[in-house]
Homo-oligomer: A and B are copies of this chain.
């Protein structure tokens, strides 16, 4: 099956920043993304879990964007403007997509 190169960018970020991040990357022209829930995790600030939490403060979300290789830099820069002072974890993976015209 015919596939094309693309990049899969995964951003794990504090839930209260989700809206800002999505607005910023949308403005940077990245209008395709998917948000996944996160149950818990661990990092330099210790372990945490969403269980029983009411406030958004104690949670994170994972945002997955699949973009053409040439657009990844614009996305990363836009994302970074939001993530910079925060704890967001950003990773980029090479991938193949079908229907490349969509990305």
Contacts and interface: CB of A to CB of B under 8 A. Distances in A.
A91 B80 contact: no
B102 A97 contact: no
How many copies the complex holds: the figure is: 3
Interface of A: 1, 3, 6, 8, 10, 12, 22, 26, 31-44, 47, 49, 60-62, 64, 66, 73, 76-77, 80, 89-99, 102
22 contacts: A3-B76, A8-B10, A8-B93, A12-B34, A31-B44, A32-B42, A32-B89, A33-B41, A34-B40, A34-B62, A34-B89, A35-B40, A62-B64, A66-B91, A80-B98, A89-B102, A90-B98, A90-B99, A91-B95, A91-B96, A92-B97, A94-B94
